[in-house]
Amino acid sequence: MIAELSKPSVYMKDPQRVQKTMESMLKAGSNTLQVISDFDMTLTRFSFNGKRCPTCHNILDNSKVISDDCKQKLDELLKTYYPIEIDTSLSVEQKLPLMVDWWTKAHELLVEQKIRKDLLATAVHESEAKLRDGYQLFFDHLHQHSIPLLIFSAGIGDILEEVIRQNGVFHPNVNVFSNYMDFDESGVLKAFKGELIHIYNKREGALLNTGHFQELRTRPNVLLMGDSLGDLAMADGVQNMENILKIGFLNDKIEERKQSYLDSYDIVLVEDETLDVPNAVLLYLTGNK
């Protein structure tokens, strides 16, 4: 079908379904396509040279805008809650209140730091955040073909926008749903805006943004990309969906989680730090291959 699907990092429970879905999406045409992607650990790398890469929150946690005392507290939160996020022995119902606790506590700590808006760009610039290899082709190709890309992130909108801006790929076809910072008139962080988006309420987040999906109602074919099972709900607001192809990055706890990822995502990419497969799928869907 597509050479990249033979990469050793690619796993599919039902390759025939993948083929059929892609064929119907190709037939419908790229003017009926929209892409919905998670940000942290989906568009960004999970690791580089054996070292973990930062999430949006980690970019701030590791930067000069946070005091050492606060860094330690945020690190303790990460050490407590990240293992829960990826624990396969707990159900979503069990994890949900704990994830709300994590986000709430982390955001409270960030607000206490009186972070200045004008220092965010430097924090991103000095960070180790990296978009996955192939990001240029991914963003540029979607832009050239006027395919809307929704980045739907439980991270921090101001930070992720800065990451894509500094990489030169914040094109006008990109929309972002995320947690945005609210600054006072002197540019100091005072709160986070709107409803909190955490890892397991993307469905609610999607349903709050009906206007966006209404605008895209002529695009009932969806390419969804995520790295968490919570990301599967990102397309819940799509109207009159016809086809959806779901690509999941499995970065951590591979053996324990592989089966559940295979049951939920059409294409599972195991420890694959590139966007080669999404790019190949996009080239196919836009008739370039």
> Which residues would be at the binding site for Mg ion (CB under 5 A)?
38, 40-41, 227
234 lies in the binding site for ligand TMP (CB under 6 A): no
Nearest CB to ligand TMP, comparing residues 135 and 284: 135
CB of 231 to Mg ion, least distance (A): 6
Give the one residue of 35, 59, 65, 106 binding ligand TMP; rule: CB under 6 A.
Answer: 106
DSSP the chain: --GGGGSTTEE-S-HHHHHHHHHHHHHH-GGGEEEEE--TTTTB-SEETTEEPP-HHHHHHTSTTS-HHHHHHHHHHHHHHHHHHT-TTS-HHHHHHHHHHHHHHHHHHHHHTT-BGGGHHHHHHTS---BPBTHHHHHHHHHHTT--EEEEEEEEHHHHHHHHHHTT---TTEEEEEE-EEE-TTSBEEEE-SS---TT-HHHHHHHTHHHHHHTTT--EEEEEESSGGGGGGGTT-TT--EEEEEEEE-SSHHHHHHHHHHH-SEEEES--B-HHHHHHHHHHTT--
CB of 39 to ligand TMP, least distance (A): 4
CB of 243 to Mg ion, least distance (A): 23
Active site residue 133: no
78 lies in the binding site for ligand TMP (CB under 6 A): yes
251 lies in the binding site for ligand TMP (CB under 6 A): no
Per the DSSP assignment, residues forming a β-bridge with 222 are 34, 244
Q: Tell which positions 139-178 bind ligand TMP, by CB under 6 A.
A: 153-155
Active-site position among 14, 40, 236, 252:
40
Give the one residue of 18, 34, 36, 38 binding ligand TMP; rule: CB under 6 A.
Answer: 38
Give the one residue of 102, 192, 249, 261 binding ligand TMP; rule: CB under 6 A.
Answer: 102
DSSP 79-107: HHHHHHHT-TTS-HHHHHHHHHHHHHHHH
Active site residue 38: yes
Give the one residue of 18, 22, 25, 41 binding ligand TMP; rule: CB under 6 A.
Answer: 41
Residue type (1 letter), 196: L
Active-site position among 14, 38, 227, 252:
38
103 lies in the binding site for ligand TMP (CB under 6 A): yes
Instruction: Determine the size of the site formed for ligand TMP (CB under 6 A).
Output: 16
4 lies in the binding site for ligand TMP (CB under 6 A): no
Nearest CB to ligand TMP, comparing residues 54 and 220: 54
58 binds, among ligand TMP, Mg ion, none (CB under 5 to 8 A by kind): ligand TMP
CB of 226 to Mg ion, least distance (A): 6
57 lies in the binding site for ligand TMP (CB under 6 A): yes
CB of 14 to ligand TMP, least distance (A): 26
DSSP 210-264: HHHHHHTTT--EEEEEESSGGGGGGGTT-TT--EEEEEEEE-SSHHHHHHHHHHH
**Known catalytic residues?**
38, 40
Q: Which parts of this chain interact with ligand TMP (CB under 6 A)?
A: 38-41, 55, 57-58, 77-78, 102-103, 106, 153-155, 199
